[in-house]
């Protein structure tokens, strides 16, 4: 029986802003447990593309703002007259299909779920603009990315989900800068500290700034149960996966 679970993730930025998906996440993401993957763009690594292809039978992609072709170009033609042609690198091992669709819609149960990267939403992550996009797509649930921060909320009967970045990579949208006049150390410049370097609040012990995250959706009829996975650090810098659950019911409260 095909799994009902839908994995939603995006803004991976591998290898330019992150080395890989965290190992603690990879241990959780194993084949035969996920039925579909919705990737919200900026999947910039062929190896990660093939990793996701091995997780689920259905991988759906939309275009991000930094998707680039990573295929190895063919070698130049020979400069001598020997007629020798250099061997070509296999495309399957070095490339992946670059998505062209800015948004897509899938249906699970009685819910229409739309997903987009979010760089076409103006202003970025604005609730009213997202609501307009959800109405234009005629969806009950809208997943978007582009901010590298997890969000989930209900607005006018629709459910909005941002899974954040599965690697914790910064999006450089402007929201990744946080003013802290007493901060010091890595990432500091003129009193501004990139939040992915902000670490842990010394008073509360809670995670500050960006942390890697993804979500799993389980849809049964008109009910969506959202499982949020975040890789958090405690006051001692130890990493652990925290899981939270949020529910949404079409036409009513979850």
pLDDT digits (tens, 9 = 90+) for 151-189: 999 999 999 999 999 999 987 654 444 434 344 343 443
What percent of the chain is helix, strand and coil (3-state, nearest 5)? 15, 30, 55
22-60 per-position pLDDT tens digit: 999 999 999 989 999 999 988 888 888 999 999 999 999
Answer whether 148's CB lies under 8 Å from 168's CB: yes
Instruction: Indicate the Cα dihedral angle 83, 89, 90, 95, nearest 10°.
Output: -140
Does residue 66 register a pLDDT over 70? yes
108-125 per-position pLDDT tens digit: 999 999 999 988 899 989
pTM: 0.78
pLDDT at 182: 43
Rounded CA separation 164/224 (Å): 19
Q: Please state, as a whole number, how many other Cβ atoms lie within 10 Å of the Cβ of residue 93.
A: 11
Rounded CA separation 152/236 (Å): 28
Answer whether 250's CB lies under 8 Å from 219's CB: no
End-to-end CA distance of the chain: 26
Our CA angle for 155, 167, 55, nearest 5°, is 85
Burial of 254 by CB count in 10 Å (0-12 exposed, 13-18 middle, 19+ buried)? Answer: middle
Q: Please state, as a whole number, how many other Cβ atoms lie within 10 Å of the Cβ of residue 180.
A: 13
Distances (CA, A) of 242 to 27, 120, 234, 235: 14, 31, 11, 15
Answer whether 192's CB lies under 8 Å from 204's CB: no
Rounded CA separation 166/237 (Å): 19
pLDDT at 191: 36
Does residue 249 register a pLDDT over 70? yes
pLDDT classification of 76: cutoffs 50, 70, 90: low
Rounded CA separation 172/250 (Å): 34
Does residue 250 register a pLDDT over 90? yes
**What is the separation of C-alpha 87 from the centre of its chain, rounded to a whole number of angstroms?**
36
């Amino acid at each position: 029986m095909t799994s009902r679970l839908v994995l939603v993730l995006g803004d991976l930025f591998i290898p330019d802003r992150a080395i890989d998906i965290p190992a603690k996440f990879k241990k959780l993401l194993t084949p035969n447990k996920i039925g579909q993957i919705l990737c919200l763009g900026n999947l910039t690594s062929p190896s990660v593309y093939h990793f996701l292809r091995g997780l689920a039978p259905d991988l759906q992609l939309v275009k991000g703002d930094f998707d680039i072709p990573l295929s190895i170009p063919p070698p130049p033609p020979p400069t001598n007259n020997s007629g020798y042609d250099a061997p070509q690198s296999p495309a399957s091992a070095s490339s992946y299909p670059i998505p062209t669709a800015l948004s897509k819609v899938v249906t699970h149960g009685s819910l229409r779920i739309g997903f987009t990267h979010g760089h076409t939403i103006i202003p970025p992550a604005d609730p009213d603009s997202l609501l307009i996009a959800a109405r234009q797509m005629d969806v009950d649930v809208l997943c978007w990315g582009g901010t590298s921060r997890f969000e989930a909320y209900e607005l006018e009967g629709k459910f909005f989900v941002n899974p954040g970045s599965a690697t914790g990579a910064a999006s450089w949208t402007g929201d990744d800068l946080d003013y802290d006049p007493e901060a010091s150390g890595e990432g500091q410049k003129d009193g501004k500290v990139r939040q992915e370097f902000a670490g842990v609040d010394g008073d509360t012990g809670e995670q500050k700034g960006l942390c890697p995250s993804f979500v799993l959706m389980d849809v049964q009829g008109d009910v969506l149960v959202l499982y949020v996975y975040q890789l958090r650090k405690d006051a001692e810098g130890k990493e652990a996966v925290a899981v939270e659950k949020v529910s949404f019911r079409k036409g009513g409260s979850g």
